[in-house]
Protein backbone atom coordinates (compact mmCIF):
# COMPACT_ATOMS: atom_id res chain seq x y z
CA UNK A 1 0.00 0.00 0.00
CA UNK A 2 2.90 2.31 0.66
CA UNK A 3 4.11 1.97 -2.94
CA UNK A 4 0.58 2.29 -4.27
CA UNK A 5 -0.11 5.54 -2.44
CA UNK A 6 3.33 6.90 -3.27
CA UNK A 7 2.69 6.11 -6.93
CA UNK A 8 -0.64 7.95 -6.89
CA UNK A 9 0.95 10.91 -5.15
CA UNK A 10 3.86 11.12 -7.57
CA UNK A 11 1.63 10.96 -10.63
CA UNK A 12 -0.59 13.73 -9.30
CA UNK A 13 2.41 15.85 -8.34
CA UNK A 14 4.01 15.38 -11.76
CA UNK A 15 0.79 16.41 -13.44
CA UNK A 16 -0.39 19.32 -11.33
CA UNK A 17 2.81 20.46 -9.66
CA UNK A 18 2.94 21.56 -6.00
CA UNK A 19 -0.22 23.37 -4.93
CA UNK A 20 0.85 24.73 -1.54
CA UNK A 21 -2.47 24.59 0.28
CA UNK A 22 -4.65 25.67 2.18
CA UNK A 23 -6.07 28.72 0.33
CA UNK A 24 -5.92 31.10 3.32
CA UNK A 25 -3.70 33.87 4.58
CA UNK A 26 -3.57 32.93 8.27
CA UNK A 27 -4.03 29.83 10.43
CA UNK A 28 -7.21 31.33 11.87
CA UNK A 29 -8.59 31.80 8.38
CA UNK A 30 -7.91 28.09 7.80
CA UNK A 31 -10.00 27.27 10.84
CA UNK A 32 -12.88 29.47 9.73
CA UNK A 33 -12.72 28.00 6.23
CA UNK A 34 -12.73 24.48 7.67
CA UNK A 35 -15.99 25.17 9.49
CA UNK A 36 -17.57 26.95 6.56
CA UNK A 37 -16.73 24.37 3.90
CA UNK A 38 -18.60 21.58 5.68
CA UNK A 39 -20.84 20.02 3.04
CA UNK A 40 -20.49 23.22 1.05
CA UNK A 41 -18.84 24.18 -2.24
CA UNK A 42 -15.66 26.18 -1.74
CA UNK A 43 -16.81 28.99 -4.07
CA UNK A 44 -19.61 29.72 -1.58
CA UNK A 45 -17.11 29.71 1.27
CA UNK A 46 -14.97 32.28 -0.54
CA UNK A 47 -17.82 34.75 -0.51
CA UNK A 48 -18.35 34.21 3.19
CA UNK A 49 -14.64 34.63 3.92
CA UNK A 50 -14.62 37.86 1.96
CA UNK A 51 -17.56 39.13 3.99
CA UNK A 52 -15.77 38.32 7.22
CA UNK A 53 -12.61 39.98 5.97
CA UNK A 54 -14.50 43.15 5.17
CA UNK A 55 -16.02 43.03 8.65
CA UNK A 56 -12.53 42.65 10.18
CA UNK A 57 -13.71 39.38 11.68
CA UNK A 58 -10.96 37.03 10.53
CA UNK A 59 -9.23 37.07 13.90
CA UNK A 60 -10.43 35.42 17.12
CA UNK A 61 -11.17 38.78 18.75
CA UNK A 62 -12.72 40.26 15.64
CA UNK A 63 -15.01 37.29 15.26
CA UNK A 64 -15.96 37.21 18.92
CA UNK A 65 -16.84 40.90 18.86
CA UNK A 66 -19.04 40.51 15.80
CA UNK A 67 -22.74 40.29 16.66
CA UNK A 68 -24.51 37.04 15.91
CA UNK A 69 -26.73 38.85 13.45
CA UNK A 70 -23.79 40.37 11.58
CA UNK A 71 -21.91 37.06 11.59
CA UNK A 72 -24.88 35.26 10.08
CA UNK A 73 -25.14 37.94 7.44
CA UNK A 74 -21.47 37.57 6.51
CA UNK A 75 -21.49 33.78 6.20
CA UNK A 76 -24.94 33.36 4.70
CA UNK A 77 -23.54 32.47 1.23
CA UNK A 78 -21.85 29.40 2.73
CA UNK A 79 -25.14 27.83 3.79
CA UNK A 80 -26.19 26.43 7.19
CA UNK A 81 -25.43 29.97 8.33
CA UNK A 82 -27.26 29.88 11.67
CA UNK A 83 -25.64 26.61 12.69
CA UNK A 84 -22.18 27.66 11.51
CA UNK A 85 -22.46 31.08 13.15
CA UNK A 86 -23.22 29.43 16.47
CA UNK A 87 -20.34 27.03 16.15
CA UNK A 88 -17.86 29.72 15.13
CA UNK A 89 -18.89 31.88 18.07
CA UNK A 90 -18.64 28.87 20.39
CA UNK A 91 -15.17 28.14 19.05
CA UNK A 92 -13.75 31.62 19.63
CA UNK A 93 -15.39 31.77 23.03
CA UNK A 94 -13.69 28.48 23.92
CA UNK A 95 -10.40 29.77 22.54
CA UNK A 96 -10.69 32.88 24.69
CA UNK A 97 -11.57 30.94 27.80
CA UNK A 98 -9.10 28.07 27.51
CA UNK A 99 -6.22 29.48 25.49
CA UNK A 100 -6.19 33.24 26.02
CA UNK A 101 -7.76 33.78 22.62
CA UNK A 102 -4.65 32.43 20.92
CA UNK A 103 -5.01 29.74 18.27
CA UNK A 104 -1.40 28.74 18.83
CA UNK A 105 -2.30 27.99 22.42
CA UNK A 106 -4.73 25.36 21.19
CA UNK A 107 -2.46 24.11 18.41
CA UNK A 108 0.47 23.08 20.58
CA UNK A 109 1.20 19.85 22.36
CA UNK A 110 1.05 16.30 21.04
CA UNK A 111 -1.02 15.60 17.92
CA UNK A 112 -3.30 13.02 19.50
CA UNK A 113 -4.13 15.24 22.46
CA UNK A 114 -4.89 18.30 20.33
CA UNK A 115 -6.99 16.12 18.02
CA UNK A 116 -9.04 14.84 20.94
CA UNK A 117 -9.53 18.38 22.17
CA UNK A 118 -10.71 19.56 18.75
CA UNK A 119 -13.08 16.61 18.42
CA UNK A 120 -14.65 17.46 21.76
CA UNK A 121 -15.85 20.81 20.38
CA UNK A 122 -19.28 21.26 18.84
CA UNK A 123 -19.10 21.39 15.07
CA UNK A 124 -15.68 19.81 14.74
CA UNK A 125 -15.80 16.28 13.39
CA UNK A 126 -12.82 14.23 12.19
CA UNK A 127 -12.40 15.94 8.82
CA UNK A 128 -12.59 19.45 10.23
CA UNK A 129 -10.22 18.47 13.02
CA UNK A 130 -7.66 17.02 10.63
CA UNK A 131 -7.91 20.01 8.29
CA UNK A 132 -7.22 22.34 11.20
CA UNK A 133 -4.39 20.14 12.50
CA UNK A 134 -2.69 19.84 9.11
CA UNK A 135 -3.26 23.22 7.50
CA UNK A 136 -3.42 25.52 10.52
CA UNK A 137 -1.32 23.60 13.04
CA UNK A 138 1.14 21.93 10.66
CA UNK A 139 0.66 18.55 12.30
CA UNK A 140 1.09 15.41 10.17
CA UNK A 141 -2.60 14.46 10.30
CA UNK A 142 -4.00 13.04 7.06
CA UNK A 143 -7.30 14.56 5.90
CA UNK A 144 -10.03 12.26 4.60
CA UNK A 145 -12.81 13.98 2.73
CA UNK A 146 -15.41 13.21 0.07
CA UNK A 147 -12.75 13.61 -2.63
CA UNK A 148 -10.37 11.22 -0.92
CA UNK A 149 -13.09 8.61 -0.62
CA UNK A 150 -14.18 9.07 -4.22
CA UNK A 151 -10.71 8.87 -5.70
CA UNK A 152 -9.42 6.02 -3.53
CA UNK A 153 -12.66 4.18 -4.19
CA UNK A 154 -12.17 4.44 -7.93
CA UNK A 155 -8.56 3.37 -7.65
CA UNK A 156 -9.65 0.24 -5.81
CA UNK A 157 -7.83 1.27 -2.66
CA UNK A 158 -11.11 1.43 -0.75
CA UNK A 159 -14.20 -0.75 -0.86
CA UNK A 160 -16.50 2.06 0.08
CA UNK A 161 -17.74 0.97 3.47
CA UNK A 162 -14.67 1.95 5.51
CA UNK A 163 -15.19 4.49 8.25
CA UNK A 164 -13.23 7.70 8.62
CA UNK A 165 -10.74 6.54 11.21
CA UNK A 166 -9.81 3.35 9.38
CA UNK A 167 -9.14 5.24 6.14
CA UNK A 168 -6.99 7.74 8.00
CA UNK A 169 -5.10 4.93 9.70
CA UNK A 170 -4.52 3.20 6.38
CA UNK A 171 -3.03 6.36 4.89
CA UNK A 172 -0.96 7.27 7.91
CA UNK A 173 0.35 3.73 8.37
CA UNK A 174 1.36 3.68 4.71
CA UNK A 175 3.00 7.09 4.50
CA UNK A 176 5.74 8.68 6.55
CA UNK A 177 4.37 11.37 8.90
CA UNK A 178 5.37 14.30 6.75
CA UNK A 179 3.42 17.56 6.93
CA UNK A 180 4.39 18.65 3.42
CA UNK A 181 3.48 15.24 1.98
CA UNK A 182 0.06 15.16 3.66
CA UNK A 183 -0.57 18.77 2.70
CA UNK A 184 0.22 18.26 -0.98
CA UNK A 185 -1.44 14.87 -1.22
CA UNK A 186 -4.79 16.10 0.00
CA UNK A 187 -4.59 19.23 -2.15
CA UNK A 188 -3.72 17.14 -5.20
CA UNK A 189 -6.59 14.74 -4.54
CA UNK A 190 -9.02 17.67 -4.50
CA UNK A 191 -7.52 19.07 -7.70
CA UNK A 192 -7.66 15.68 -9.40
CA UNK A 193 -11.32 15.22 -8.50
CA UNK A 194 -12.30 18.72 -9.57
CA UNK A 195 -10.45 18.29 -12.86
CA UNK A 196 -11.31 14.73 -13.83
CA UNK A 197 -13.34 12.58 -11.49
CA UNK A 198 -16.47 14.59 -11.96
CA UNK A 199 -16.30 16.25 -15.33
CA UNK A 200 -15.12 13.33 -17.44
CA UNK A 201 -17.09 10.42 -16.18
CA UNK A 202 -16.65 7.74 -18.86
CA UNK A 203 -12.92 8.02 -19.45
CA UNK A 204 -10.27 10.65 -18.95
CA UNK A 205 -7.47 10.36 -21.50
CA UNK A 206 -5.57 13.24 -19.93
CA UNK A 207 -6.06 12.09 -16.34
CA UNK A 208 -2.67 11.30 -14.79
CA UNK A 209 -4.18 8.29 -13.00
CA UNK A 210 -5.88 6.80 -16.03
CA UNK A 211 -3.37 4.00 -16.52
CA UNK A 212 -3.55 2.84 -12.90
CA UNK A 213 -7.29 3.21 -12.43
CA UNK A 214 -9.07 -0.16 -12.74
CA UNK A 215 -12.46 1.48 -13.09
CA UNK A 216 -11.02 4.15 -15.41
CA UNK A 217 -13.30 6.66 -13.73
CA UNK A 218 -16.28 4.83 -15.12
CA UNK A 219 -18.25 4.69 -11.92
CA UNK A 220 -19.64 7.55 -9.94
Distance of closest approach, residue 187 Cβ to DNA, in angstroms: 8
Stretch that binds DNA, among 3-11, 144-152, 169-177, 202-210 (CB under 7 A): 144-152
Distance CA 140, CA 160 (A): 24
Considering only 63, 95, 145, 168, the residue that binds DNA (CB under 7 A) is: 145
Q: Tell me if 215 contacts DNA by CB under 7 A.
A: no
- Tell me the C-alpha to C-alpha distance, in Å, between residue 39 and each of 34, 42, 78, 147, 204: 10, 9, 9, 12, 26
Site for DNA in 8-27 (CB under 7 A): 21-23
User: In angstroms, what is the minimal distance from the CB of 41 to DNA?
Assistant: 4
Residue among 16, 42, 96, 179 that touches DNA (CB under 7 A): 42
C-alpha pair distances (Å), 207 with each of 120, 140, 153, 160:
39, 28, 16, 22
- Contact residues for 4 (Cβ-Cβ < 8 A; gap 6+): 157, 174
According to the binding rule CB under 7 A, does residue 109 interact with DNA?
no
Q: In whole angstroms, how close is the CB of 150 to DNA at the nearest point?
A: 7
Q: Which of 56, 67, 68, 82 binds DNA (CB under 7 A)?
A: 82
- Applying CB under 7 A, does 140 fall inside the site for DNA? no
Judged by CB under 7 A, the residue of 58, 74, 84, 209 near DNA is 84
Which H or E element spans position 61? helix 60-64
Q: Does 59 bind DNA (CB under 7 A)?
A: no
Instruction: Decide: residue 173, CB within 10 A, 0-12 exposed, 13-18 middle, 19+ buried.
Output: exposed
Q: How far is it, in rounded angstroms, from Cα 109 to Cα 115?
A: 10
CA distance 201 to 218: 6
Contacting residues toward DNA, per CB under 7 A = 21-23, 33-34, 37-44, 47, 76-84, 121-129, 131, 135, 143, 145-147, 163-164, 190, 193-194, 198
Amino acid sequence: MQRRLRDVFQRLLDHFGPLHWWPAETPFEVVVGAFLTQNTAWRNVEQAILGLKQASALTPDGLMNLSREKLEECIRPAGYFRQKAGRLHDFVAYLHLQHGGELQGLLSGPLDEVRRELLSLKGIGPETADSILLYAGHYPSFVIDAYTRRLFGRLGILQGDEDYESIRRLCMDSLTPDVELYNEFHALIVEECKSFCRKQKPLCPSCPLNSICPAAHSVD
